[in-house]
Chain A
Amino acid sequence: MAIWYEAWTLPWDAAGFKRKFFYLPTVEGSGRGTISFLTTQGEGIVDVPLDHLTAAGRDLTEIVSDTTASLIRVFDSLPDGTVTIIDEWVCERPARRHEDGRVATISGPPLKTKAFDGSIVRPFDYPANPTLTPDHIWGGDNVLSDPGFETPAVKNEQYELVRDGATGGNFTVTVDGQTTPSMAWNIGPVGLENNIEALSTVTDVLVTATSDGWTVEFHNPSEPGSFDWTPAFTGGGGDEEIKTTVEGLIEPSGTWTTSQHADASVNPHIHGTYATDGFRLTDPDSGFEPVHSGTYAARINGLSQFAGIQQIVQVEPGMTYQLSIWFWSSDASEEFRLVARDIYDNLITEDSFTNVTNATPSTWTEVTLELVVPEGIDTIIFRFAQTVDHNPDPFYVDDAAMNEGQPPTTWGDIVDILMGTRVDLFFWIDWAGVDVTNDSGSVVWPGEETVTVQFGETFGQLWDLGVDLGYEWNLIPKDTPVGGWDPLDETHELVWYVKAGMDADPSTAINPGPSVTGGESFNRIPAYTRVYVEGSEGVYVEDEDATALANFGPMEKYEFNTHLNSEATSQARAAELLSYESANRNAVRFELIATLGNPRPGVHFKPGDTIPMQLPPGLQKVEKRVQDFSYVNTYPAQYIVTGSRVLEGEAAAYNLLWRIWRRLNKPQKPRRSGGILPGGGGGMAHILIVSTSEPSNIQKKGDYVVPHTNSGASLQAIFDTVNDKWTIWMAGDFELDQNVTAPAGCRIRGLGYPAPVET
């Protein structure tokens, strides 16, 4: 019915974990501590009578001094002599009152606080210094732009109507079965445009005059089903014709291109050859073009080896990426390669590619590749191409990904990996029961997590993340073996469980009875009924407790959590927030005194156990998980047991802390890493094109250098890589030897500077 104290060396002591005092004299009633569920909070304290130490030939400096610390173990026992450690705290400081030196007060944090709040997660690439990849990422952001090809770029179909010198007569134009009125041979472009737009099958066209006819560019529709004319001219050569100058296409967005050199000046620039419509998106109206997800996939009809699709991506040196793409081909002879190259088309590493055959034709197949970006590389080409040198059937690709970090994995794997990075600190902890598959209760983890753990976080903060996701942990002392512990022995066990997995039903209860000296219970209204959780991607989820919402109305809580990489993980956190709120709405607190034959906290039940709690006057029995208990070393020992995290009496202090936290806690939006998302930060993406007419010092500042004569092809290759969120700056002289089209919406601006004054 009483508790006592022992002093030990610290578990990580190089000389081994040993008992220093098998009986530490203490002042009755001075010993206090709190053992909390799923936190590293609490502190232990007790007074030591110094005269007793002196009489025993001992000294306080054996327990704590400038060079010594001790682990204080607090024991309780059953009448049959079964001993239980109910608390462990690290004695880190003594205090002797000036007016009375007879007693020393020793105190310190719980062992789990010292162990985990005093241990840092090192950088992912430790011991690299400076670190290139500080964070441990599982299931990180997909840095590809438009990975699912759901942002199509439209290429307007364009025709040229040639009169062949006609000087009279008339003509009509027919679009998708609708025909204009007869028009004079010399109708102006505006008139022709109006007549075509008057057709029910056309909304918007652009007509311009040529020297011998007109060009008609379709905007809406971008690609008519059929376009024809019926000329009846006189006076010309009679060789009127209609030419298709630009095939209408729905193409992948400008961030995706055919396989090609990143440097537009390299000749040949394009890899492989393509059919006329060899690079476009699937047609949703075709009825037979496969799509893996969403509305579109990319269709590549390559005629020769290395025809494919690629995206140039900004990457972080040192970062690990998980590359993947789905492909579909009906041609069993096809072979493909997923490859990562630098901007000079060299392999990033000797194994930065994977080859695959079409083993299951006409089936969507995923190809994966892990890439670790070397230092010094910040741009790569993500490329998927056919490697056969014959002309196979078209192939399709969809749902490309280039995710930062490691693939998603279970919480157990994350714990195992990160603990394993600090074996230097945690050699005294056994976590073998926590692995990638099972928790410490041999229960399979419910799923995989997508989280980021940052360099500099403590393991205590990491454990908070696990708790935020609904997992449970504890640090448990192992039984001292016969002969004691040897140096480097694992003296404690770290356990992790799935939600409610650590819950035990220890066949005990707290009822009005011989050991209960007081208590209180209450039901409180919710702190919140609706939650918003925002993760690192900027994606947020909403969730709500429908019953509480109906009863109490909307009370909202927002949480920004940089650890959460996916919507699924954010959803798990939102669910846990609501579950936590619901579980703690009914609060119970008991004051107990140790009596023979009646249950005692720490011995008969522990924080995390669910036991029935029943208090008058209503005697409503509730099954509550014990959240914490505190003890005092009186005789008999006294305890306070709570079945809730938030109690009425603490509301004032809680609200004060909440106000302080709210004032100081500003969501830190991390810098987005990885690939460029044009305009993703709210601004615009800019590139500078400099022609070779400019001095070399200006050319060096450009993103691209383009020849100042016959500039058309080079400019078009660049414009094909941008979309409407880009601004293109141009400096120098350019010769447009061909039509050049830029995506609608993008901005083209000239960098002008005064021409030299000629005198």
Chain B
Amino acid sequence: MAHFYNVGVAGINLDSGLGIREAIFMKYSSAEKKGGNIIIPHRHGELHVPDKYFAGADVMLQVYLPFDVETDAITALSELARLFSSQTEVAVTQDDPYRGSIRAMVENLQDPIPTEDRFTYMFSLRNASGFWEDQAVTNISSGSPPAVVTGGDRPIHDMILTFSGPGFLQHTDDLGQVARVEIDAAAGAGTYVVDVGLGTCKKGGANQDEFVSITQPWIMKWQPDDTPSLTANVGVAASFRNKWA
């Protein structure tokens, strides 16, 4: 029996909400890394650029329309298309047998694409972030440093770091690159929330940029399925969603 992916679009379960009993997201589509290697004159081959970043990804959603009554198929297809009609990205969810319950923000780029089978349609979606991520947040309790263990198979770059006070959290990756987030003591006691993805640091909702310094342009970035090498001099809690291809 085929795996039930329990696909949802914009909070609507395709099965229970639209009667589309079978739907599947293609696991790998066009995800690629940005940039390339470097061509050096008078050298064979290329110079490898390590630590490349992923581009946005195309996501293909294949749906099998209900056909008990012919009108059901058109209705389900149209309602599904309407769910994707948004001014911004739409959240999609699925229960993947390997990745678990994951989600992604996608944008529908065009009308549904018919296939040879009159009841099977494809939706060409664009995932700007390039990644799926856990529906559930992984919370690492405060530690100095926090005991972070990552999952997934794509880097985590948008963690939320909660500092219990001024101090630093430092990460050294496998290339020896040191990424350090430090909150100056002059900021004063309090809880500081660093949103690495947005590049903000707030205390009580107020920006604390004056007191924050970083050492790498990515601020902080953890590899998947890894125990990052962290040091800290203050208690830091971390919350993140594992990333997936």
Q: How far is the CB of A603 from chain B (nearest CB, A)?
A: 13
Q: How far is the CB of B169 from chain A (nearest CB, A)?
A: 12
Q: B171-201, CB under 8 A of A: which get 1 and which 0?
A: 0000111111000111000000001001111
Q: Point out the residues of chain A lying under 8 angstroms from B176, CB to CB.
A: 79-80
B212 in the interface (beta carbon within 8 A):
yes
A293 in the interface (beta carbon within 8 A):
no
The one of B38, B50, B199 in contact with A593, judged by C-beta atoms closer than 8 angstroms, is B38
Segment of B5-13, B65-73, B215-223 in the binding face = B215-223
Q: How far is the CB of A480 from chain B (nearest CB, A)?
A: 7
Q: How far is the CB of A478 from chain B (nearest CB, A)?
A: 15
Total contacts A-B at CB 8 Å:
101
B39 in the interface (beta carbon within 8 A):
yes
B34 in the interface (beta carbon within 8 A):
yes
Choose among A2, A23, A518 the residue with the greatest number of B CB atoms under 10 Å from its CB. A23
With an 8 Å Cβ cutoff, the count of chain B residues facing the other chain is: 40
Interface positions, chain A 7-31, Cβ under 8 Å from B, are 18-25
Q: Point out the residues of chain B lying under 8 angstroms from A514, CB to CB.
A: 38, 40, 47
**Which residue of B is nearest A57, CB measured?**
B200
Interface positions, chain A 592-633, Cβ under 8 Å from B, are 593, 595-596, 616
Q: Point out the residues of chain A lying under 8 angstroms from B170, CB to CB.
A: 81
Q: Point out the residues of chain B lying under 8 angstroms from A24, CB to CB.
A: 199
The one of A4, A20, A516 in contact with B209, judged by C-beta atoms closer than 8 angstroms, is A20
A163 to B145, CA, bound (A): 126
A1 to B177, CA, bound (A): 10
**Known interface pairs A512-B42, A516-B40, A595-B47; A77-B216 also in contact (CB < 8 Å):** yes
A399 to B100, CA, bound (A): 98
Q: Point out the residues of chain B lying under 8 angstroms from A635, CB to CB.
A: 34-35, 52-53
A635 to B221, CA, bound (A): 16
Q: Point out the residues of chain B lying under 8 angstroms from A52, CB to CB.
A: 198-199
**Known interface pairs A56-B200, A81-B180, A484-B186; A595-B217 also in contact (CB < 8 Å):** no
Q: Point out the residues of chain B lying under 8 angstroms from A3, CB to CB.
A: 217
B210 in the interface (beta carbon within 8 A):
yes
Q: Point out the residues of chain B lying under 8 angstroms from A636, CB to CB.
A: 35, 38, 49
Q: Are B47 and A58 in contact (CB under 8 A)?
A: no
Q: A70-104, CB under 8 A of B: which get 1 and which 0?
A: 00000101011111000000000000000000000
**Known interface pairs A25-B199, A512-B41, A516-B40; A483-B214 also in contact (CB < 8 Å):** no
Q: How far is the CB of B61 from chain A (nearest CB, A)?
A: 25
Q: Are A77 and B211 in contact (CB under 8 A)?
A: no
**Which residue of A is nearest B178, CB measured?**
A81
**Which residue of A is nearest B183, CB measured?**
A22
Q: Are A4 and B40 in contact (CB under 8 A)?
A: no
B139 in the interface (beta carbon within 8 A):
no
A600 to B41, CA, bound (A): 18
B78 in the interface (beta carbon within 8 A):
no
Q: How far is the CB of B215 from chain A (nearest CB, A)?
A: 4
Q: B79-111, CB under 8 A of A: which get 1 and which 0?
A: 000000000000000000000000000000000
Q: Point out the residues of chain B lying under 8 angstroms from A516, CB to CB.
A: 40-41
**Known interface pairs A18-B210, A22-B201; A517-B35 also in contact (CB < 8 Å):** no
Q: How far is the CB of B140 from chain A (nearest CB, A)?
A: 22
Q: Are B41 and A22 in contact (CB under 8 A)?
A: no
Q: How far is the CB of A168 from chain B (nearest CB, A)?
A: 115
In the complex, which range does the number of interface residues on chain A fall in?
35 or more
Interface positions, chain A 119-154, Cβ under 8 Å from B, are none
Q: A309-330, CB under 8 A of B: which get 1 and which 0?
A: 0000000000000000000000
Q: Point out the residues of chain A lying under 8 angstroms from B185, CB to CB.
A: 482-483
Q: Point out the residues of chain A lying under 8 angstroms from B177, CB to CB.
A: 79, 81
Q: Are A596 and B175 in contact (CB under 8 A)?
A: yes
Q: Are A484 and B184 in contact (CB under 8 A)?
A: yes
Q: Point out the residues of chain A lying under 8 angstroms from B200, CB to CB.
A: 23, 56-58
Q: Are B35 and A616 in contact (CB under 8 A)?
A: no
B229 in the interface (beta carbon within 8 A):
no
**Known interface pairs A2-B217, A79-B175, A482-B184; A596-B50 also in contact (CB < 8 Å):** yes
Q: Point out the residues of chain B lying under 8 angstroms from A4, CB to CB.
A: 214, 216-217
B213 in the interface (beta carbon within 8 A):
yes
Q: Are A518 and B41 in contact (CB under 8 A)?
A: yes
**Which residue of A is nearest B208, CB measured?**
A22
**Known interface pairs A79-B177, A482-B184; A19-B41 also in contact (CB < 8 Å):** no
Q: Point out the residues of chain A lying under 8 angstroms from B42, CB to CB.
A: 512, 616
A723 in the interface (beta carbon within 8 A):
no
A480 to B47, CA, bound (A): 36
A57 to B201, CA, bound (A): 11
Q: Are B199 and A56 in contact (CB under 8 A)?
A: yes
**Which residue of B is nearest A21, CB measured?**
B209
Q: Point out the residues of chain B lying under 8 angstroms from A82, CB to CB.
A: 215
Q: Are B212 and A22 in contact (CB under 8 A)?
A: yes
Interface positions, chain A 464-500, Cβ under 8 Å from B, are 480, 482-484
A19 to B213, CA, bound (A): 9
**Which residue of B is nearest A518, CB measured?**
B41
A634 in the interface (beta carbon within 8 A):
yes
A22 to B184, CA, bound (A): 12
Q: Point out the residues of chain B lying under 8 angstroms from A483, CB to CB.
A: 184-186
Q: Point out the residues of chain A lying under 8 angstroms from B47, CB to CB.
A: 514, 595
Q: Point out the residues of chain B lying under 8 angstroms from A25, CB to CB.
A: 199
Interface positions, chain A 220-265, Cβ under 8 Å from B, are none
Choose among A25, A596, A634 the residue with the greatest number of B CB atoms under 10 Å from its CB. A596
A19 to B211, CA, bound (A): 7
**Known interface pairs A80-B178, A81-B180; A482-B38 also in contact (CB < 8 Å):** no
A55 in the interface (beta carbon within 8 A):
yes
**Known interface pairs A517-B41, A596-B50; A482-B186 also in contact (CB < 8 Å):** yes
Q: Point out the residues of chain B lying under 8 angstroms from A518, CB to CB.
A: 41
Q: How far is the CB of B217 from chain A (nearest CB, A)?
A: 3
**Which residue of A is nearest B50, CB measured?**
A596
5 new A-B contacts, CB < 8 A, other than A19-B211, A634-B35, are A21-B199, A79-B176, A81-B215, A483-B186, A636-B38
**Which of A's residues lie within 8 Å of B, judged by CB?**
1-4, 18-25, 52, 55-58, 75, 77, 79-83, 480, 482-484, 512-514, 516-518, 593, 595-596, 616, 634-636
Can you pick out 20 interface pairs between chain A and chain B where the beta carbons lie within 8 Å of each other? Answer: A2-B218, A18-B210, A20-B210, A22-B209, A23-B199, A25-B199, A79-B176, A83-B213, A482-B185, A482-B186, A484-B186, A513-B40, A514-B38, A516-B41, A517-B41, A518-B41, A635-B35, A635-B52, A635-B53, A636-B49
- Shortest 8 CB-CB distances between A and B: which pairs? A23-B199, A81-B178, A4-B217, A81-B215, A56-B198, A483-B186, A22-B212, A79-B177
